[in-house]
Structure 1
């Protein structure tokens, strides 16, 4: 998948359109010819890039799990001694970017993860566990009184909240990306603060 500023390669274009079509119509409801037509090449031409639909699905789901983990690690490194609260805000912002910009991948994960080969599915789960544990450690720095099991539950709950974006309606029906991002950020911080209990200090999300 391309970074936000890179021009997408043909392979990345194929993955983007495959994700959109799989999310809209289901994995088995989309043919190779349709994916090819969406990027302007013949269906058989896709086989120069991928051996089949299964490979596209695996790259999409393994790829986004790896990107989330890599992005979170990069944000931690870039913090370079910054406050734990600021780093947590940065992690939330990164996940919100994913939730708003890659909504088809959330739908794909929910519907199609079990279609992956065992090895690919295990890799997705491994990457996701590492991502969760990174968050759990940081959440416990911001809220020191929060026990590890409660922190883990809170993190999973926040992911559920942020990953609800496919149910918010079509992108054009939202109140605007910036407004939606700020709302999700406030809700995420509010949920984490609530998990820490009434004694926890308030940490309002940044606008």
Structure 2
């Protein structure tokens, strides 16, 4: 888990005098964004935020009467920052320049607000009016970037994209530009911005696969249920966590869905957190197996990256609920377990990054890590929506982003 910064409560050079910063509310919102983003809504406490800011809990209550009030205003504020960054980015007579400028503004905003992805993972906890407020900002962002994508492809005399393809291209570019909100990998801001924008612009100029060939594989039957009661419980829990949220699901709910008494669940798992922990390690095991399989079949660094991308997209597509629960509910496992999960995730990313560097030696390992985080974000964002983009298209977009001219 990334280290959290500390904001001093007293002014520099002050001895024995506690001064109240004029922008304390803004400081609280900034700390809240980072804390909610890292720990999740339910695992964040006002006590933790107050301690980080350097004030008492009663002082925090003077600004925000409840945790939800703080969460809602944090989400709205981040949405306003995003909206403002695009509002101050004018269109250019050159569509390619417009697209570049929009993605640069998004990348700059995200790099300045690394907790800014809060509404991406935690929006399910917003009340309807707050969720709608954020949703309208996100929709407006998507439409403007999509228009720039379509105009840029036309200006470059590339084949016209269908609406579905244009939506996927815009979503992928936005996902890449906003990916620093999903991780804490270090890289100088200017380097990160250049890496994200340059490769995102290149990605939306992709020679699109034929839609008939790129269609997502048909939904197959769920198959047979496992005989092991432990596996039945695990399989039934993930959809419940995905649909309702971890905190809203009880052991009785899980037992009923699994066709067992509550005591039957407790025979296999000590509590709900143990189920969540097991599910997350199952996801990590699948990721490790997918990496091993991709590398075993690859015959060059470029082929390795291509196969890694395809295997991860398939994993996200086939396990969308599990991946989604991981992103939203990671804060509900014990800190030591969360730390181990994130260590393994970093090892997986380093494996990807090493093959990206071997494919494009001009990149540093730090730059490649940033790009891999963006690639994983693209895969997640484009496969978790109600009408996911075809897996072949998502894989092609990621390969274009990661490999560029090396392909």
TM-score by length of 1: 0.81
Partner of 1:11: 230
Provide the rounded CA distance (Å) in 1 between the counterparts of 2:343 and 2:223.
29
Which of 256, 273, 279 is equivalent to 1:54?
273
1:73 and 2:327 are equivalent in the alignment:
no
Pair 48,40 (structure 1): closer, same or farther in 2 beyond 3 Å: same
Deviation at 1:166, TM superposition (A): 5.8
Deviation at 1:5, TM superposition (A): 9.2
Kept in 1, the 8 Å contact 2:317–2:384? The answer is no
Offset from partner CA, 1:129-172 (integer Å, 9 cap, x none): 11000000111112222222211110000000001146411xxx
Kept in 2, the 8 Å contact 1:27–1:112? The answer is yes
Pair 39,64 (structure 1): closer, same or farther in 2 beyond 3 Å: same
Deviation at 1:124, TM superposition (A): 0.4
What is the number of residues matched between the two proteins? 185
Provide the rounded CA distance (Å) in 2 between the counterparts of 1:174 and 1:111.
19
Written as runs of structure 1 = structure 2, the 5 A alignment for 1:26-175 is 26-76=245-295, 78-79=296-297, 82-165=299-382, 167-169=384-386, 173-174=387-388
Please identify, of 8-17 and 124-133, the stretch whose mean Cα deviation from structure 2 is larger: 8-17
Kept in 1, the 8 Å contact 2:251–2:272? The answer is yes
Which of 175, 184, 188 is equivalent to 2:398?
188
Partner of 2:8: none
Deviation at 1:30, TM superposition (A): 0.7
Pair 165,40 (structure 1): closer, same or farther in 2 beyond 3 Å: farther
Offset from partner CA, 1:157-205 (integer Å, 9 cap, x none): 0000001146411xxx447xxxx110111110121135xxxxx34x2xx
Kept in 2, the 8 Å contact 1:17–1:39? The answer is yes
Q: Could you tell me which runs of 5 or more consecutive residues in structure 1 were left unpaired when the two chains were aligned.
A: 195-199
Please identify, of 110-119 and 66-75, the stretch whose mean Cα deviation from structure 2 is larger: 66-75
Provide the rounded CA distance (Å) in 2 between the counterparts of 1:74 and 1:167.
24
TM-score by length of 2: 0.43
Kept in 1, the 8 Å contact 2:246–2:329? The answer is yes
Pair 163,182 (structure 1): closer, same or farther in 2 beyond 3 Å: same
Structure number with greater Rg is 2
Kept in 2, the 8 Å contact 1:84–1:141? The answer is yes
SS at match of 1:183: helix
